[in-house]
Structure 1
Amino acid sequence: MASTRIERRLAAIMAADVVGYSRLVEQDEESTLIAFRDIRGSVISPLLAEHRGRIVKLMGDGVLAEFGSVVDAVACAIAIQERTATSQELVAPERRIVFRIGINLGDVVVEGEDLLGDGVNIAARLEQLCTPGGVMVSGTAYDHLKGKLNVPFDFTGQKRVKNISQPVRTYALRMAGNEQGWRWRSQIIHHWPLVAPLAVMLLLMGAGLWWWSQGTKPTIREPAVAETAIGNPIIGKPSIAVLPFDNLGGDDASRRLAAGMTEDIITDLSRYRDLDVMASNATAAYTSKPVDIRAVAKALNVHYVLEGSIQRSGEQVRVTAQLIEADRGTHLWSDRWDRPATDVFAVQTEVAEQVATRLAASGGAIPEAERAAGRRARPEDLKAYDLYRMGQEEMAHLTKESIEEAIRLLEQAVDEDPKLARAWVALAAAQDLTMRYGADADTARAAAMQAIRRGVELDPRDAAAHATLGHILGMAGDLPRAQAEFETALRLNPSDVGILTSYAGWASKFGEPERGAQAADRAIRLNPNYSASAAGYYRLAYMMAGRYEDALRLVEHEDPLTRTRGGWVQAAVTYAALGRQEEARATVLEALNRYPDLTTESFALNSPGYTDSERQRLVEGMQSAGFPPCIKPEQLQAMLAPVHRLPECQTVSPQ
């Protein structure tokens, strides 16, 4: 007997239904049916036609539709939610028609005009998981959307759904009008791609005229080939390492000047999007050492190396620089400058531009607009600059005493040269750090804010200034303005490792976990010698984006003896998320041995600095790993209200 051949095809499936339909019908059946029919006729059907979709079937309270493209399906879903909300602005809230929409890209079975199979079932399950007024897409749909639709998604976890054997990656589309947790109203500005143009203008104006004039979001470049995120080169564009400039003067002032020149050249080069520039920490091991250029290039996965020297004699300086193609050992360019000492800052700009001109795309040409866009204000006073560098060195020690000394030196620097913007920026960062060592938060934050606003005012094109302002605003709870400042910083300098690292830690708070993970990828590539504190930012970024394999690589590279309380939580959650329960349990036991009061409530719900979505992910992860859920009664007595509680712990109260 001949078998009937089953027809299959790949399709984007949209499932939509009305939230609380039974309640609406029970309250007023006739009005509900009329309202739904009107929306279907005036909103859904025209939008399906506009986005090349077709209705597969109509249910009493919903619609199943097919699209040839995921982009069309998501664009149609957004339009349906927006138009439905607009059409009911005069309707009482309790009588409004509100949709949930799920979208999946998958294989479907064709039976006449009907569609069956897992591709349809997953879309229907996603619709059930979706928040009212929102859109949820599967991982397969999300993967096909990257770079094609400028809308923000939040990764919402691997979900097990009915009748589907494997967990489904899920992503929620962040839309104006969706409930987003305890502090949604304070974060509505995050939905900028979908709000009215006036709201966009207000946000952009807050970030400054330069950023507003660009009109697009900065891109955090991903690898051009599919490779692991940890430590591999970005292929397809020039990569360069700037070795520490040799100090031929011998004294500490010349040493600081040489170190400053190296870092400033790296900063200047990093603003060019066509160059991949290693961080100064990645090359610090080569200070004052004879090196094999080819070995250095191989170790750092770069194609080019820049090396040079600086010698100061009285009020004169001599600077040399040479650019080497590492594979063949060929000298592409070299130069020497004999200048007054005050011209050293102009020389470092010339070095950066000479290198960029030879290595950038389009035959070496870089538009003048791009040259000007990221160029920082030059220092004018060498004494003030030396004080600034001394202050930075003190800050790096990260002790209470060193931070206090840094503030003293940086205050001297701005007294010596009130226009030295980068010293104001460093002073703001130092003031912010005092809170780690017991300083009054309100006083420290006010001092930091005053200093950073002065720094940004003096040099609005200094990317580090905007990133520092973003961090300070974020710590004060002003996430919309913090996000705007980070966006500006990334536009001005898309390859600055410090900015990328800080953004990786903040991105999920801005509702951008995927971009945070991309920032971590890029920061690790540009600085494989990242610090333990930076690793904490990267692990958090990977966890919030659901990239637990990448988080695990960082966990396994970490020395457990230096692991912090948060680091133990991250390690246990990572093991649990990957199904390695035995290692998760062992990590939890060791964490509790070191921190006996560590519970899901005390860390996930009551540690400062996390947003609601981050807390929810931590709660789920810590529960899966096996941490004790509830704060101990004796701890509750010592905690200041309000204390956030898990539902199962509500009955636990102080004795």
Structure 2
Amino acid sequence: MAEERVKRRLAAIVVADVVGYSRLMEEDEVTTLATLKERRATILQPIVRAHGGRVVKVMGDGVLLEFASAVNALSAAIELQRKMADANTALPEARRIVLRIGINLGDVVIDGSDLYGDGVNIAARLQSLAEPGAIYVAAAIRDQVNRKLPLSFDDLGPKSLKNIAEPVHVYRPLFETWATVYDEKPATLPLPAKPSIAVLPFTNMSGEAEQEAFADGLTEDLITDLSRNAGLFVIARHSTFAYKGKSIDVRVIARDLGVRYILEGSARRTAGRMRINVQLIDAVGGGHLWAERFDRSLEDIFSVQDEVIGKIVEALVGQLVELPPRKRPKSLEAYDVCVRGRSLISSFTSFPEAIREAQILLERAILIEPEYSEASRWLAFVHWQLWAHSIEPSDENRSRALELARRAVQLDGSDAAARWVLGYLLAYEKSWPASDTEFKAAFRLEPNNTDALVMSSELAVYAGQPLEAIDTISRALRLNPRPPGWYYWELGLAYYAAGRYVEAVKTLRMEATYRSASRRILAASLAQLGRKDEAIREAALFMAKTPNFTIAHWAAAQPARDMETVQRFVEGYRMAGLR
């Protein structure tokens, strides 16, 4: 009889185990086993199914998973770490279930339902190397997911693994877990004097992934419209979207964000119609203040938004202060495309390719509807990013950005974001009075606009007022307690300008902003502290990602009313080895 051929296949293997399992079992065996069983049933298994994987086997404190796709494997692992961290927030630190995870892409040997071979062994060795709460991946995984997932990676270099002949190049994907963000925030934020509200991401009930952008866009637009009311304290989009897909009690969310009221809802869009369910909850006093369902034609989306805003303001403030209405797009297709484009812009610092995709989408939205103000101002911001961050530092991008920003304000002078974008670009043209006028208009139209606050802080830095800038960013962080990474970039900039280099280093080394172009400010801060080797290393890493950068271009481009501030940065850049 011929020898039976060994069955093999290529697979993405995930190995996870529990940190400190023996200690947990020794302290409380029954509770530990019950908690692990519950986590497997409610977190692990649903995540694996959702990402097209399978649980190969459970091994006491560990688990072996198989996926056909490297992207699915890493996406599932990140979701697993995040949801495990979510579940831990209600537990004392000593009882938290924390995972280490290793992932490898390789050949595996099939034995019934089990898997063996180096493909599995390498994943297990990576898991044993990983820090608590972290994921370590082999280079093959990183190569497969590069540009497919909006992630940066720590390059940990080649590692010698037990019983593996050749060193394996290891990377650590950088992602935020709930626990990380949670631990950086105070336990309780005081409630503001005015009615305070957070709008949670609406649930997409259509069952179609492509409708996710519609539900997200609806949420974002409601936040924008609520933010226009000076009588309300409105939490910014980025902070509320941190809860997307998480099953967390609204009372916990309200406490963490420091608000009293929560708006949540769902949206279903099919065959030209939509069904939107909305409820306003008093998370402190308890009870539902208002709930309603809207079954309408899709063309009524903006009138429904207006109705929802009116109901909320009436319930919380008692009287709607009339503001100039924002100009809505006429084309739903243009709206859909713009929503997809704007969602990519905030990911630029961690995923540079996203800005190119955003540019294509926004240009398409304007092609569909040439008088679409929001699409024009977002496209203006894209061209400014290309110019200011030395991606394509051409005069054409600079002039195109200003042209589009002016066009956006011309089309809709009641759009606060269009006003601050134009104000910001005018500062780079050294048109200070016009810039100040636009920012004042933005804050008059939308007092809760945190992006405008942070952008104005940058202008304060270059006007020689770094302490005022730090105070402004602090106000923005109260409205946006879980901000995008570039808020910390601007805070690091202000700390550097104020000569507070230790605080600048601490801020700019935060995971949220570390691998963005803010690295040049980190390098300068390290140089000012006399940490020359670290400064030169960070400067080299910055140049590897932004090869077109020159100090001369940067210095000439800054919106500086105070040249001494610019020279302080130039000095730091040169000390760090930038040219």
Q: AA paired with 1:523?
A: A
Secondary structure, aligned partner of 2:523: helix
Q: CA deviation at 1:291?
A: 2.8
Give the match for residue 592 of structure 1.
Answer: 536
Q: Are positions 1:365 and 2:309 aligned together?
A: no
Q: CA deviation at 1:403?
A: 2.8
The structure-2 alpha-carbon separation of the partners of 1:556 and 1:452, relative to structure 1 and needing over 3 Å to count, comes to closer
Instruction: Provide the identity percentage.
Output: 33
The structure-2 alpha-carbon separation of the partners of 1:482 and 1:252, relative to structure 1 and needing over 3 Å to count, comes to farther
Give the match for residue 444 of structure 2.
Answer: 491
Pairwise mapping of residues 459-470 of structure 1 onto structure 2 (< 5 A)? 459-470=412-423
Q: AA paired with 1:457?
A: Q
Q: TM-score of the superposition, structure 2-length normalised?
A: 0.59
Give the match for residue 491 of structure 2.
Answer: 538
The structure-2 alpha-carbon separation of the partners of 1:630 and 1:597, relative to structure 1 and needing over 3 Å to count, comes to farther
Q: AA paired with 2:233?
A: D
Pairwise mapping of residues 86-105 of structure 1 onto structure 2 (< 5 A)? none
Q: Are positions 1:448 and 2:401 aligned together?
A: yes
Q: CA deviation at 1:340?
A: 1.1
Pick aligned residue for 2:522 from 552, 567, 571: 567
Between the aligned partners of 2:535 and 2:508, the Cα distance in structure 1 is: 14
Between the aligned partners of 1:322 and 1:564, the Cα distance in structure 2 is: 43
Q: CA deviation at 1:384?
A: 0.9
Q: Are positions 1:420 and 2:368 aligned together?
A: no
Between the aligned partners of 1:542 and 1:530, the Cα distance in structure 2 is: 18
Q: Are positions 1:433 and 2:390 aligned together?
A: no
Q: AA paired with 1:595?
A: A
Pick aligned residue for 1:477 from 407, 417, 430: 430
Secondary structure, aligned partner of 1:539: helix
Between the aligned partners of 2:513 and 2:263, the Cα distance in structure 1 is: 36
Preserved contact between residue 464 and residue 562 of structure 2 (Cα < 8 Å): no
Between the aligned partners of 2:369 and 2:540, the Cα distance in structure 1 is: 51
Q: AA paired with 2:364?
A: Q
Q: CA deviation at 1:547?
A: 7.9
Between the aligned partners of 2:420 and 2:555, the Cα distance in structure 1 is: 24
Preserved contact between residue 243 and residue 287 of structure 1 (Cα < 8 Å): yes
Larger radius of gyration: 1
Deviations 1:416-437 (A, max 9, x none): 2223211111121222222236
The structure-2 alpha-carbon separation of the partners of 1:299 and 1:416, relative to structure 1 and needing over 3 Å to count, comes to same
Preserved contact between residue 555 and residue 566 of structure 2 (Cα < 8 Å): no
Q: Are positions 1:385 and 2:335 aligned together?
A: yes
Give the match for residue 507 of structure 1.
Answer: 460
The structure-2 alpha-carbon separation of the partners of 1:594 and 1:296, relative to structure 1 and needing over 3 Å to count, comes to closer
Matched residues, number: 383
The structure-2 alpha-carbon separation of the partners of 1:594 and 1:255, relative to structure 1 and needing over 3 Å to count, comes to closer
Between the aligned partners of 1:570 and 1:312, the Cα distance in structure 2 is: 50
Deviations 1:399-424 (A, max 9, x none): 56433332222222122222321111
Q: AA paired with 2:249?
A: D
Deviations 1:584-638 (A, max 9, x none): 334x44213443899xxx9699744446665525766998xxx698799xx9xxx
Q: CA deviation at 1:515?
A: 4.6
Preserved contact between residue 428 and residue 559 of structure 2 (Cα < 8 Å): no
The structure-2 alpha-carbon separation of the partners of 1:428 and 1:591, relative to structure 1 and needing over 3 Å to count, comes to same
Q: CA deviation at 1:258?
A: 0.9
Pick aligned residue for 2:280 from 323, 327, 332: 323
Out of 268-277 and 532-541, give the one that drifted further: 532-541
Q: CA deviation at 1:395?
A: 3.3
- Listed as ranges, the gaps of 5+ residues in structure 2 are 1-184, 543-549
Between the aligned partners of 2:401 and 2:573, the Cα distance in structure 1 is: 38
Between the aligned partners of 1:444 and 1:303, the Cα distance in structure 2 is: 44
Between the aligned partners of 1:631 and 1:430, the Cα distance in structure 2 is: 29
Pick aligned residue for 1:518 from 461, 465, 471: 471
Give the match for residue 105 of structure 1.
Answer: none
Q: CA deviation at 1:468?
A: 1.2
Aligned CA-pair RMSD: 3.6
Q: AA paired with 1:392?
A: R
The structure-2 alpha-carbon separation of the partners of 1:512 and 1:233, relative to structure 1 and needing over 3 Å to count, comes to farther
Preserved contact between residue 263 and residue 278 of structure 2 (Cα < 8 Å): yes
Pick aligned residue for 1:458 from 411, 417, 426: 411
Give the match for residue 356 of structure 2.
Answer: 404
Preserved contact between residue 275 and residue 295 of structure 2 (Cα < 8 Å): yes
Out of 483-492 and 547-556, give the one that drifted further: 547-556
Deviations 1:490-532 (A, max 9, x none): 2111211222221121223356655533320122112222233
Pairwise mapping of residues 148-167 of structure 1 onto structure 2 (< 5 A)? none
Preserved contact between residue 495 and residue 503 of structure 2 (Cα < 8 Å): yes
Secondary structure, aligned partner of 2:530: helix
The structure-2 alpha-carbon separation of the partners of 1:612 and 1:308, relative to structure 1 and needing over 3 Å to count, comes to closer
